[in-house]
Amino acid sequence: MANDASAVSDTRSPQSLADPFTPAADSSLWRKNFLLGAATASYQIEGAVAEDGRLPSIWDTFSATPGKVLAGDTGAVACDHYHRWQEDVDMLAGLGLEGYRLSIAWPRVMGAAGAPNRKGLDFYKRLLARLKEKGITTFVTLYHWDLPQHLEDRGGWLNRDTAYRFADYADLMSRELAGSVDAWATLNEPWCSAYLGYGNGHHAPGLADGRFATQAMHHLLLAHGLAVPVLRANDPASQKGIVANMGRGTANSDSAADQRAAHLFEVQHNAWILDPLLKGAYPRDLFELWPGTEPLVLDGDLQTIAAPLDFLGVNYYFRTNLASDGAHGFTEVPPEGVERTQMGWEVHPDGLRDLLTGFRKTYANLPPIYITENGMASDDKVTDGHVDDTQRIAFLKRHLAAVDQAIKAGVDVRGYFLWSLMDNFEWAFGYERRFGVVHVDYATQKRTIKRSAELVAKFLRERKLLT
């Protein structure tokens, strides 16, 4: 397929477009009300970790611990977005992106005693005001993993009190920012916070115990449930939801044991979060997989967690192929000869479609969905002032086609956010893995728009002309 979109006029009909990104002419993405944006997270881009009253987070502590993050990288400077936010918003708007999903750094806006930090709050007020001036829809995530360290010192998400402190934080933010946020997401990827943070230690705070993981998850979901009515009361015009990373599990064979293995993988990756949110109960199979890890659940907790949602954010990156471990669990069997990203993750767009259509069948009360993260890492280089990220272009087109297939199958998907707007601190992988559609030179902080972003911008210009 041709790789030069410059020869295609922006005024031609979608049927005639043949560049490597443009969706098919009958794609749902041509709908004017299908939101197309980009996403970031506070610790991954902001830097300025000790400025204007910001307190330490668990990721400051974790990334400063030798051996925890690749190459000893930290988020101390990251993309320096705290100082370059105006430039970054102008870049976002210049690309024509319609939505921006960002997160607020809890340690930047509240002191240890719960008092507001005005300088931190003012940063987000200025940022959101600028986004509104540009006509960009704002999706704000309250918790994208950067728990204040002082709360972790008191037990973090293993301490039930943290859920109530989160509700206080949600109360402050929704009072201060009411009217400037189109959609609030309480949590980003509680599976990662609970399992990677407390179950296997790969992420901050670096604890590793199965019982810790399930208890942390319960308190995370309780925090979500406590925050939703607060957000509704303080900012009634906005949407309220949660963002979860979803994993597609496929069986290595037709055997009953391997089919069961794939099922259990999706239970621990998806139903662990969605069942309490949408059914008011934890899946029983979870504790077959992890016996003896049942969390302490108090009367009324599950009703609180199951607060009605206006939307569900779905983050998707790859599938996992599973076989039975011969006992009561599963083992991964990576397929050979498949396309992979810099992360080593298989490129499997059908998994996104299958998850979305499966959720529609499983949950009668499934809310409208936004794909809040989808993207890939590649070892991008700037050559003669350009970044030709051909693999990402093909990745995005194929995954957007999968979203279109899900919509045509009846799933209410209302938008899609590229992960990520720009290269950034990729958690335990530091700065080696580049997910952005904009390249960042970390030494100079120069931003270079990649070919993928140019083609997304071109599509949005075309759609605007046609709708």
Q: What amino acid positions are annotated as catalytic residues? A: 189, 373
| 184 annotated as belonging to a binding site for a ligand | no
Backbone angles phi, psi at 359, to 5 degrees: -65, -40
| 317 annotated as belonging to a binding site for a ligand | yes
Structure tokens belonging to residue 438: 């904009």
| 59 annotated as belonging to a binding site for a ligand | no
Please enumerate in sequence order all residues whose Cβ is within 8 A of that of 21, keeping only pairs 6 or more positions apart, or say none.
5, 393, 396, 397, 452, 455, 456, 458, 459
Within 53-118, strands assigned E span: 99-103
Three-state DSSP class for residue 184: strand
Structure tokens belonging to residue 147: 């728990």
| 30 annotated as belonging to a binding site for a ligand | no
Please enumerate in sequence order all residues whose Cβ is within 8 A of that of 370, keeping only pairs 6 or more positions apart, or say none.
35, 139, 183, 241, 311, 312, 313, 314, 413, 414, 415, 416, 417
N- to C-terminal Cα distance for the chain? Answer: 26
Residue 35 forms beta bridges with which residues?
415
| 188 annotated as belonging to a binding site for a ligand | yes
Contact predicate 136/179, CB 8 Å: no
Contact predicate 139/312, CB 8 Å: no
| 294 annotated as belonging to a binding site for a ligand | no
Query: Using CA atoms, how far apart are residues 307 and 300, in angstroms rounded to an integer?
Result: 12
Nearest-5° angle of CA 330, CA 336, CA 340? 95
Q: What's at 292, amino acid-wise?
A: G
DSSP structural state of residue 14:
G
Contact predicate 144/422, CB 8 Å: no
| 303 annotated as belonging to a binding site for a ligand | no
Residue that has been written with the tokens 């049927």 in this structure: 15
Neighbours of 367 (CB within 10 A): 18
- Report residue 38 CA to chain centroid gap: 10
Question: Which residues line the annotated binding site for substrate?
Answer: 44, 144, 188, 317, 419, 426-427
Residue numbering of the annotated binding site:
44, 144, 188, 317, 419, 426-427
